[in-house]
Amino acid sequence: MSMALDPHTIETEISLIRERESNPFTAGVKANLFTLLVLRSIESDPTKPEDRGEQALQYLLGKRPARIITLHRARTAKTEAWVSGRCFPDRKNRGVCFEEVHIECGDDGLGADPGAWAPLVIRDLPVFAWLVDGMPAPADPWEQTIHEAAGLIDKLIVDSSRFAEADDTLTSLRRLQAAVSETTRLADFAWERGRVLREQSARVFDPPAMRPLLPLCTNVRLYGGSHAEAQLFFHWISTRRGTPIVAEHAYVGPLNEGFRVTFFPAGHPEIDIGCTKGGCLSLGEEKGAYRFPSEGEILLAQVDTPTPDRVFHEVLDRG
């Protein structure tokens, strides 16, 4: 049942849901760990089975109790809210619940204003905001919302793979970082997916004998992965080297389907790293299987650590 966006009514409704879940036949419900604000665009449809936001949340359900506040831009005139709860019993029969507040943000502007939902954020616990559907345009109301709510949010989670390809990934990420306060740090799904690229590259250049080759690699080529994943990888290489590289990228599929990185050290043979679903191979040696994290696993890791990723921010600052 929809209700007006009144925090007292919503909190009462949430309390009733918790009470119901704490019935005498269960061992109660676990205390919340954080608040997650899920920001959805007008095109977004969480009811579709393939919706990536919902799939990731499903992965979290039963693992981390939390309050999930969804702000969904809608084509309605009036902002409306729904309250619901989803619980999953743990091994000791305690409910691990999502307290969910779904806000359909209408044309009245109410839902986009943090004043409307800020009282629903649980105090003294980390607050994460997740832009499920890519980067808002500069004049997009979501960016204004993020800016105004910056003091509330500890970490803003985005996926730069969903930004428009024409945009420079780093420029867009920096713009987003500038829109929030210094104390709100960015996290990026694309960066997390690119971990395999960085780890495999680091393994190649980590042995002392290989280290002198990295500064000689002025050219790097990547087949596979999204534009943003490639950009972030190239910028990471640049910050490791201390100088920019000439980069070449071609999309042949998502990273978890496989990729190939080739480094071209001047005066030396090229260095190839290839990964498929079956495992990785570099310098002619099998490097074993590599497991790509799912969207849910990435989200879980992000909400488990309020800490910003130091290397990612180094790349943002210096890349």
Partner 1 sequence: MVGLGLPREPQPLTLVIFGASGDLTRRKLIPALFSLYIKGSIPRVRIVGFARRDWDTAAFQGLVRQWLDGEEAPAADAELKDSFVKGLGFIRSSFEDAAGYEEIRTAYAESPNRIFYLATPPDAYQTIVEHIGSAGLADQSRGFSRIIVEKPLGRDLASARSLNDRIAHAFPEQQIYRIDHYLGKETVQNIMLMRFGNGMFEPVWNSRYIDHVQITMAETLGVESRGRYYESAGALRDMMQNHMLQLLTLVAMEPPVNLDPDSIHDEKVKVLRSLAPIASHEVSTQTVRAQYARGIVEGAEVPGYTEEDGVAADSGTETFSALRVSLDTWRWSRVPFLLRTGKRLSRRTTEISMHFKRPPLLLFADRLPSATPPNVLTFRIQPQEGITIGFNSKIPGPTTQMRPVNMDFSYGSAFGEDLPEAYERLLLDAMLGDSTLYMRKDEVDSAWSFITEILRGWDSTGTPRLESYRAGSAGPTAADSLLGAAERRWRKL
Give the binding site for partner 1 (CB under 8 A).
Answer: 4-8, 110, 113-116, 118-119, 121, 123-127, 148, 151-152, 154, 183, 185, 304-308, 310
CB of 49 to partner 1, least distance (A): 31
CB of 103 to partner 1, least distance (A): 10
Question: Looking at beta carbons only, is 23 or 171 nearer to partner 1?
Answer: 23
Question: 295 with 311: CB under 8 angstroms?
Answer: no
CB of 261 to partner 1, least distance (A): 28
Cα distance between residue 282 and residue 241, in whole Å: 20
Question: 128 with 32: CB under 8 angstroms?
Answer: no
CB of 242 to partner 1, least distance (A): 22
CB of 269 to partner 1, least distance (A): 37
Sign of CA dihedral 280, 283, 285, 287: negative
Question: Looking at beta carbons only, is 75 or 310 nearer to partner 1?
Answer: 310
Question: Looking at beta carbons only, is 7 or 258 nearer to partner 1?
Answer: 7
Burial class (CB in 10 A: 0-12, 13-18, 19+), 261: buried
CB of 27 to partner 1, least distance (A): 17
Question: Looking at beta carbons only, is 62 or 274 nearer to partner 1?
Answer: 62
CB of 222 to partner 1, least distance (A): 29
Question: Looking at beta carbons only, is 14 or 273 nearer to partner 1?
Answer: 14
What the block records as the tokens of 65 is: 């109790």
Question: Looking at beta carbons only, is 55 or 239 nearer to partner 1?
Answer: 239
Sign of CA dihedral 178, 181, 183, 184: negative
CB of 101 to partner 1, least distance (A): 12
Question: Looking at beta carbons only, is 155 or 227 nearer to partner 1?
Answer: 155
| Pairing verdict, β 259-265 and 271-276 | antiparallel
CB of 200 to partner 1, least distance (A): 22
Question: Looking at beta carbons only, is 91 or 123 nearer to partner 1?
Answer: 123
Cα distance between residue 187 and residue 189, in whole Å: 7
Question: Looking at beta carbons only, is 127 or 273 nearer to partner 1?
Answer: 127
Cα distance between residue 240 and residue 247, in whole Å: 15
